[in-house]
Amino acid sequence: MQVQEIEQKKQIKEPGYPSFLELNVTHLEPKFKHPTIFRCFNALQPEDGFYILNDDDLKPLYYQLVAKKGETFTWEYIEDGPLRWKILIRKFLRVSQQQNELSKKELYG
């Protein structure tokens, strides 16, 4: 199944939030939800994001993303159940530990 087939081709603008595409996975079989969301995540450029709509909490997906992608994203609940969950995922550049240590040295001497 292509990601384009399930994405809603509209920009969603939540008050106080950026405008991103919304991925509604409520109609997908459970076995297709995580792979579909991973494909969308992998297609993101740094600073891009998307909203996920689902009919149950995707907390297991959060832990799976952390395990596979590390600290390269933010995860924010826009709606937190009990009937509908909406999550904003944003990708950002990963700073290596070495670069982080160099930055600390520059800042603190």
Cα–Cα dist 63/7, whole Å: 23
Given a contact cutoff of 8 angstroms between Cβ atoms, the answer to whether 29 and 35 are in contact is no
Q: List, for residues 74-83, the tens digit of each pLDDT value.
A: 999 999 999 9
Q: Which segments of the chain have a pLDDT < 50?
A: 1-10, 96-107
Q: For the chain, which residues make up each domain, given as ranges?
A: 3-108
DSSP state of 46: T
Each residue's pLDDT tens digit, 48-62:
899 999 999 999 999
Superfamily of domain 3-108: TusA-like domain (3.30.110.40)
Residue 101 tokens, joined: 């240590």
